[in-house]
A and B are shown apart, each in its own frame.
Chain A
Amino acid sequence: MKRIFAQCYIWLLLIILYAPIVFIAVFSFTESKVLGNWTGFSTKLYSNLFTGDMQGTGSLMLAIENTLIIALIAAVVSTLLGTIAAIGIHNMRGKTKQAITLLNNIPMLNPDIITGVSLFLLFVFLHISQGYLTVVLAHITFCTPYVVLNVLPKLTQMNPNVYEAALDLGATPFQALRKVLIPLLKPGMISGFIMAFTMSLDDFAVTFFTRGTIGLDTLSTYIYTDARKGGLTPELRPLITLLFVGILILLIVINIRQMRNSNTEEK
């Protein structure tokens, strides 16, 4: 009895939580401009999205492109920066370590708007004209901490002597890094990369403040401008649906992997 009640509660919450997304997904299969008005099944919005045959596509396509490029650059740079930094931090002791971990935590604790405003002020202060570069820098700022956080535990788990052993056996530091450290840190780097990538994809507030006035749009700022005019462009419905499905698959894959990992570790 209790079990059924608990199950009901969980599923009820999930249904409520997912209702709007499901609602969008359902209505991505009809042509109607007005959400909530079913005018028959159609995949026209999907084909519009892919062929780019719709109003104002240029800017939507451009926004998607920007989003992906920015997310890729930010994720790659922050993975590299974060991994190297994590190795350094791991080898640190005392006050310096505390200070750097504290600084590393700040972007994760700060609300987006504070990160956005503070970086905005920085760029104003340094007279850097805002655009692509500033957005990428800002994204790296809030992505790297997550990479560091994902790589550090792997370093703690690692046998500290492996790297030294490689050096003793005649590997150059670079070889030791590439052949020994990187393979060991890879799982952490990958999950850090994925987190950085999704964080960047997801971001709205920081982009909003650092993009300047050159008309640079990422998907979220595009949606913001679009929504301020009222309602979503119909083509955003299939896009949101696809993104949702994509993230769902990605998360399931990650979780299965993690479960497998932890299973093998337990054995």
Chain B
Amino acid sequence: MNKRSSWALPYAIFLVLFVALPLILIILYAFQDGSGNFTLANFTKFFTDADAIGTFALSLEVAIENTAICILLGYPAAWILANKKYNRSAVTIVLFIMPMWINALMRTLATAELFHMLGIQLGKGTLLVGMVYDYLPFMIYPIYNILNKMDKSYMEAAADLGATPWQVFWKVQVPLSMPGVISGVMMVFMPTVSTFAISEFLTNNKIKLFGTIIQENINSSMWNYGAALSLVMLVIIGMTSLLQDNKKEVSGGTV
């Protein structure tokens, strides 16, 4: 311990106040009724409300489908981008990252307007397309990162030992790039479940996702129920992060 470690103190206090305490409050509110008594009613309400459960299930479905499509489309793209044979310019990568920096709401609205112009009926199909469009960069980027940093000698070694290119890909490259895929999944799956506003715009209000239910409850002062729903989401986050190796940090977000 040296003296300068105390420089982190203000931020530590800040973190406790604005990160730890709010999360504790979610748990606290989730187990309270309106007048502050302990209760499990918020959860029984959620698990017995067919509408809420249906929305929750549907959100998971959309998120799973979205994640799957993003992997299917994104992995090849990341692979091509990371492969010096096919892509030499860094500009293409910047082009893929760029949409991440534009407000998701704006991109969504632009998509919805495009569907309108093309005369495509809004519904579940357009929701999925819009979601893929919103989140694909978040899948490509981490996979690209890991493929790019990967030590090429592993592949060469495998090839030298007689593996076909196809085998090299499946047996060496894919397993080694799994951490990238997993952080991609993290960056696509949870945000899809939790988006609000986006699904309404893409489906003319026909489909609601879980985030919208949370927002509706918080907005109409049903804080306790809203907190309980948020807690359900936090549990799901916890479960998905089990997939991740604890040692590795999420490699997203940086330019």
Q: Does B152 contact A (CB under 8 A)?
A: no
Q: Does B97 contact A (CB under 8 A)?
A: yes
Q: Is the interface of B mostly helix, strand, loop or mixed?
A: helix
Cα distance A194–B226 in the bound complex, in angstroms: 33
> Shortest beta-carbon distance, A103 to chain B, in Å?
4
User: What are the interface flags for B191-232 relative to A under an 8 Å C-beta threshold, 1 for contact and 0 otherwise?
Assistant: 101111100110000000001001100100001001100100
Asked if A81 and B253 sit within 8 Å, CB to CB, the answer is: no
User: What are the interface flags for B128-154 relative to A under an 8 Å C-beta threshold, 1 for contact and 0 otherwise?
Assistant: 000001001100000000000000000
- Using a CB–CB cutoff of 8 Å, the interface residues on chain A facing chain B are 2-3, 6-7, 9-10, 13-14, 16-21, 23-24, 35-36, 81-82, 84-85, 87-89, 91-93, 96, 100, 103-115, 117-122, 124-125, 137-138, 140-141, 144, 146, 148-150, 191, 194-195, 198, 201-202, 204-205, 208-209, 219-220, 223-224, 227-228, 231-232, 240, 243-244, 247-248, 251-252, 254-255, 258-259
Interface 9-mer from B49-57, B75-83, B156-164:
B75-83
Asked if A118 and B77 sit within 8 Å, CB to CB, the answer is: no
User: What are the interface flags for B84-105 relative to A under an 8 Å C-beta threshold, 1 for contact and 0 otherwise?
Assistant: 0111001110111111011111
Q: Are A111 and B237 CB-contacts (below 8 A) given A125-B25, A255-B90?
A: yes
B7 in complex: contacting residue of A91, A195, A244, CB < 8 Å: A91
CB-defined contacts of A150 to chain B, threshold 8 Å:
254
Asked if A141 and B19 sit within 8 Å, CB to CB, the answer is: yes
Asked if B116 and A92 sit within 8 Å, CB to CB, the answer is: no
CB-defined contacts of A105 to chain B, threshold 8 Å:
249-250
Asked if B5 and A14 sit within 8 Å, CB to CB, the answer is: no
Known: A122-B22, A205-B196, A223-B106. 16 other contacts (CB 8 A): A9-B76, A10-B80, A17-B96, A20-B110, A23-B110, A23-B114, A85-B11, A93-B1, A106-B19, A112-B194, A114-B230, A124-B223, A125-B25, A149-B253, A201-B103, A204-B197
CB-defined contacts of B133 to chain A, threshold 8 Å:
16-17, 20
Asked if A91 and B5 sit within 8 Å, CB to CB, the answer is: yes
Q: Does B166 contact A (CB under 8 A)?
A: no
Q: Are A232 and B1 CB-contacts (below 8 A) given A35-B116, A113-B211, A244-B102?
A: no
The 18 sampled A-B contact pairs (Cβ below 8 Å) are: A3-B86, A9-B80, A10-B80, A14-B96, A23-B114, A24-B110, A24-B113, A36-B113, A89-B11, A117-B230, A141-B19, A144-B11, A148-B11, A149-B254, A202-B101, A224-B105, A251-B255, A259-B90
Asked if B95 and A121 sit within 8 Å, CB to CB, the answer is: no
CB-defined contacts of A202 to chain B, threshold 8 Å:
101-104
Asked if B25 and A137 sit within 8 Å, CB to CB, the answer is: no
CB-defined contacts of A36 to chain B, threshold 8 Å:
113, 116-117
Cα distance A3–B18 in the bound complex, in angstroms: 50
Cα distance A121–B221 in the bound complex, in angstroms: 11
CB-defined contacts of A209 to chain B, threshold 8 Å:
215, 218
CB-defined contacts of A121 to chain B, threshold 8 Å:
22, 25-26, 29, 223, 227
Asked if A117 and B10 sit within 8 Å, CB to CB, the answer is: no
Most B-side CB within 10 Å, residue of A2, A113, A201: A113
Q: Is the interface of A mostly helix, strand, loop or mixed?
A: helix
Cα distance A130–B2 in the bound complex, in angstroms: 39
Asked if B8 and A23 sit within 8 Å, CB to CB, the answer is: no
Asked if A103 and B16 sit within 8 Å, CB to CB, the answer is: yes
Nearest-neighbor residue (CB-CB) of B87 within chain A? A10
CB-defined contacts of B178 to chain A, threshold 8 Å:
none
Q: Are A227 and B105 CB-contacts (below 8 A) given A84-B11, A251-B255?
A: yes
Asked if A144 and B8 sit within 8 Å, CB to CB, the answer is: no
Asked if A227 and B10 sit within 8 Å, CB to CB, the answer is: no
Nearest-neighbor residue (CB-CB) of A107 within chain B? B19
Nearest-neighbor residue (CB-CB) of B111 within chain A? A20
CB-defined contacts of B90 to chain A, threshold 8 Å:
255, 259
> Shortest beta-carbon distance, A49 to chain B, in Å?
15
Which 9 A-B residue pairs are closest in the complex by CB-CB distance?
A: A88-B8, A85-B11, A36-B117, A118-B22, A88-B7, A20-B110, A111-B194, A6-B86, A91-B5
A13 in complex: contacting residue of B16, B73, B105, CB < 8 Å: B73
Q: Are A10 and B116 CB-contacts (below 8 A) given A23-B110, A100-B15?
A: no
CB-defined contacts of B26 to chain A, threshold 8 Å:
114, 117-118, 121
CB-defined contacts of B201 to chain A, threshold 8 Å:
227
CB-defined contacts of B64 to chain A, threshold 8 Å:
none
CB-defined contacts of B243 to chain A, threshold 8 Å:
none
Nearest-neighbor residue (CB-CB) of A115 within chain B? B22
Nearest-neighbor residue (CB-CB) of B130 within chain A? A20
Nearest-neighbor residue (CB-CB) of A219 within chain B? B103
Cα distance A2–B106 in the bound complex, in angstroms: 36
Q: Does B181 contact A (CB under 8 A)?
A: no
